[in-house]
Structure 1
Amino acid sequence: MTKRSLASELAHLFNLFLAFNHKSQGRIERARNRLDRALSLTNDAEPYLMAFDGILMVSEDRHESARKRFRESLSALEAAMDAEKKYVAPYCRLWLSMYDVNCAYEEIDRLWEEAHSLEATGTEKALLRLPPKDALRKEFGNRKGLTSTARL
């Protein structure tokens, strides 16, 4: 995290809170507006913010942009050596695996279990909620794939 004034930090957190709140209520356009404001208050987006941006893009049916954003988050995490990497990385790999038609359900399930078992900050867990496991099973349970997420 870059240094910024207390007022800027509070504005950033306030906009992030409102983005999450609006998304939770299905007000996607308002969520986008608030997330863009939150992102404008930081010089470099943290990986969990990039992942949340990807989730918001999924809600906006901007799937190609979402995949790109999840990959950007993973790239940013390459340099990270903290607890954030432990949750955000498998979370992003989970979403990328759902987009990959060659990825078997077993791999999707494994990534869900990995992310579910990990510790994360309250902000990360709140913003980056895992999809319900039964919904994944229903959507991807019959998928037979050829690859793992190692190539994602």
Structure 2
Amino acid sequence: MYEEISISAEQSSDAKVLIISVAARLAGMHPQTLRQYDRLGLVQPGRTGGGGRRYSERDVALLREVQRLSQEDGVNLAGIKRIIGLEQLVGDLQHRVAELEQQLADAYTRVAQLETMNPYAGREMVHRETQSTALVVWRPRRSPDK
């Protein structure tokens, strides 16, 4: 009847090329369900000039996850929307952390390069305040009655 097609969210394409009937069949849903999920903001298909919905392989994987959370775990649609939003946020934050870690590694590499070019080898590139050796004289205040 239907051919089994497996799509992994990590390896799937973001190209919005699947019409709603194909995306619905791949996700194991009725096209009306996809329209409802679009209205609720669970999935954001692309649009053609005429307003037709176009789905990506990643959208289909997301639809399957929505179905799994709903049917197997009993999560309502509001909960699913929140879960999806939080997973996207986590993914964005993980991407940002990776970028910052790379920038930090690049900065360390650059500092190491600059230190090798330093004419004052053996000294640190970043100036650190040395402790003061100044002598401070302190005299206690005299009490007013003396």
Q: What is the TM-score when the length of structure 2 is the normalising length?
A: 0.24
Q: Which has the higher helix share?
A: 1
Q: What is the TM-score when the length of structure 1 is the normalising length?
A: 0.23
- Name which one, 1 or 2, has greater alpha-carbon Rg: 2
Q: Which has the higher strand share?
A: 2
